[in-house]
Amino acid sequence: MDAILSQLPDTLPQWYRSCARDLPWRHTKDPYRIWVSEIMLQQTRVEAVKGYYARFLSALPTIADLARCDDDALHKLWEGLGYYSRVRNLKKAAQVIVSEYGGVFPREHSVCLSLPGIGPYTAGAICSIAFDSPTPAVDGNVLRLVSRLTDDPTPIDAPGTKEKVTNMLAAVYPGEAGTFTQALMELGATLCGPNRPPECGLCPCSGFCLGFRRGTAQTLPVKKAKKEKRREEKTVFIFRCQGAYALGKRGDTGLLAGLWEFPNVPGRLEQGDALRQAEEWGVEPTELKKIIHRKHIFTHIIWEMEGVFLEVSRKDSRFVWLTPEELEQSAALPTAFRQFWEEERHV
């Protein structure tokens, strides 16, 4: 394996310079901007991130700006990206950087790794790309690439696999570490990308790739069988009263912590039970406009949701009532609930 990986530093940088995608975060060595891009790119497609990246940095151009940003404004900037714990940890880490490091992003890998929300992959990416440190950033794309290069059938999500690959790559890292890290990422995301056959005929590594030579590249990587996602049923209420809509805020911990939501209860209520629930909340329903079904898939849970759209005559104080303009400007609705708002506002 070492003999194969040792050929990468002479092969990948030249390919990367001529073939890499032109992405906005590749035009900077600023660790803050690299950090923001890496956090946004977790579990999110590159094309979806581009617009968010530009808006986020326009609103919060420095670590200090991020550290003092109001939570609602921060969530609104992140609205639609999902996995909101990412942005909460961004702010927590920014506050640590401001209070302990004078607002300057730390260069040391161990310090970077200690910041909230920064794991081995993100720390490796920031330190190698921003500071040219020989710190590999090993994610699913890199694991796929290495498993094919070395024809290794070990499950890439098995305990110890990521650490083993990290150590093997660290042993061959060149001085131009940032370019090498990005080249590994790029090849693993494009020619050797997920959910499709590898494009071995275009790959700069085909001459020494064991997976290509032995015909096993398309069967790799191997992953352990996934557990079936848990399903939860919910009834979501979209109450409108005098042009305003009822919302509440989720708690400070757990799934979608601190975000806005439409009123909801566990379980799938029948029409009569849904109307009785609305009456119990004191909103005095006057017209049932429609009931629609929607689904939202989280990492480990699937929400099956009935959306009950009701015109009501009373703004009960247990809810916050916002106009459409206020909702759009200041309330970050996670996608699970925003799909009902999209249905309402496009009627």
Is 311 one of the catalytic residues?
Answer: no
Query: Can you say whether residue 170 is alpha, beta or left, with left for phi > 0 and alpha for psi between -120 and 50 degrees?
Result: alpha
From the CB of residue 129, how many other CB atoms can be counted at a distance below 10 Å? 28
Angle at 237 between CA 235 and CA 238, to 5 degrees: 145
Rounded Cα–Cα distance for residues 24 and 71 (Å): 26
Rounded Cα–Cα distance for residues 172 and 92 (Å): 34
Write out the chain in H/E/C secondary structure: CHHHHCCHHHHHHHHHHHHCCCCHHHHCCCHHHHHHHHHHHCCCCHHHHHHHHHHHHHHCCCHHHHHCCCHHHHHHHHCCCCCCHHHHHHHHHHHHHHHHHCCCCCCCHHHHHHCCCCCHHHHHHHHHHHHCCCCCCCCHHHHHHHHHHCCCCCCCCCCCHHHHHHHHHHCCCCCCHHHHHHHHHHHHHCCCCCCCCCCHHHCCCCCCCHHHHHCCHHHCCCCCCCCCCEEEEEEEEEEEECCEEEEEECCCCCCCCCCEECCEEECCCCHHHHHHHHHHCCCCEEEEEEEEEEEEECCCEEEEEEEEEEEECCCCCCCEEECHHHHHHHCCCCHHHHHHHHHHHCC
Q: Catalytic residues, which ones?
A: 38
